Copies of this chain bind each other. A is one copy, B any other.
Amino acid sequence: MRSEFDLINHIKANYTLNVIGDDCAILPKDTQSDQLFTVDLLIENIDFRLEWTTPEFLGHKALAVSLSDIAAMGGSPKYALLSLGVPDNLWKTSFLDRFYEGWHRLATEFEVELVGGDISRSPSGLTIDSFVVGEAARGQAIRRSSAQAGDKMFVTGPLGGAALGLSLLEKGERFKQLDGCPGQAAILRQLKPRPQVAFGKLLLNNALASSAIDISDGLSSDLAHICEASGVGAHLDAAAIPIAEGASLEMALHGGEDFELLFTVPADRAAEAEASGAIEIGHITGDAGKVTISGAAGIEELKPMGFQHF
């Protein structure tokens, strides 16, 4: 079966498309600004399960994943369009009202305006497609492709929480309330992720990051994307990787959907990145395409191995 990446590469090869490859497409808006376009498709029982979440959380997450793409490039989200394919049984309930409640609350927080959308009946499951348009200062959007050997590598927060939450949901646990236990916090991280929009803007405004990506597929996979796009390698210090409470190093390395940012900065600016609250986890090397990790067992090669969402 071909993967999403195969398909995008196939389209690029066949149709001389060269703007795909970052979290968002970057297109000129006016003399001051570029526009960022991103779209995220969420399909029931592939990307989410209704019995694991609430309509409000799902509305939140549908927007959050797109805001995270804007955040990864340092942009400011502006407008959204939302398409929904809705099965008959959900029309008759308060589902749509509650879904929009969650969507709208996050949109209000980030000053995103819903300007359009489409809705259709669906003969089977719920389908959600979220488009977000953002802006960034002209030529300043942070790319994946400009990491350089010697750059230091940072993440904005602990990893593995969303993967732990997923594993708990699979075992039958559900979100009730934040009770101080890591399990409930992890499930909430999985169901209601925080997009790092403010941090992305800080990186752009200070021209601090040489590259960035949001951790949606998992650290090992998303780091591989940066290495491939930049033609570099990377070395991770396992002991430095911040791990969400209750999660394992494995979850932190390969679990997706934490939606923290992974970014690189020139070595002489590492102190600034640290002062911003980010955590240094390694550095970029000149060994193109190779990612290594140093841990208890010495230095090993790390292959990208994103968790399947199910």
Using CB atoms and an 8 Å cutoff, list the residues of chain A in contact with chain B: 1-2, 4, 7-8, 10-11, 14-15, 17, 19-20, 24-25, 27, 29-31, 37-47, 79, 81, 83-85, 88, 91-92, 96-97, 100, 104, 113-125, 127, 129, 131, 133
Contacts and interface: CB of A to CB of B under 8 A. Distances in A.
Nearest to A7: B119
Identical chains in the assembly: 2
Nearest to A20: B116
13 contacts: A1-B91, A1-B92, A8-B119, A15-B114, A25-B81, A25-B116, A29-B30, A37-B79, A39-B83, A41-B84, A41-B127, A129-B129, A131-B131
Contacts of A7: 96, 119
* Residue of A27, A29, A31, A129 ringed by the most chain B CB atoms within 10 A: A129
B119 A41 contact: yes
B29 A127 contact: no
A117 B24 CA distance: 9
* Residue of A40, A91, A113, A127 ringed by the most chain B CB atoms within 10 A: A127
The 8 A-B residue pairs with the shortest CB-CB distance, nearest first, are: A30-B30, A25-B115, A124-B124, A129-B129, A41-B83, A25-B116, A41-B118, A83-B129
A2 B129 contact: no
Given A29-B30, A88-B1, A17 B114 contact: yes
A123 B119 CA distance: 19
A15 B101 CA distance: 10
Contacts of A125: 123-124
Nearest to A86: B7
Contact of A81 (B1, B39, B47): B39
Nearest to A129: B129
Nearest to A79: B27
Contacts of A20: 114-117
A42 B120 CA distance: 8
A40 B39 CA distance: 13
Contact of A120 (B10, B24, B29, B46): B46
Given A29-B29, A100-B11, A120-B47, A85 B41 contact: yes
Contact of A41 (B39, B115, B120, B124): B120
A16 to B, nearest CB: 10
A241 B20 CA distance: 45
A120 B42 CA distance: 8
Contacts of A84: 41
Contacts of A8: 117, 119
B39 A118 contact: yes
Contacts of A46: 85, 120-123
B131 A39 contact: yes
Contacts of A127: 41, 43, 85, 122, 127
A38 B37 CA distance: 13
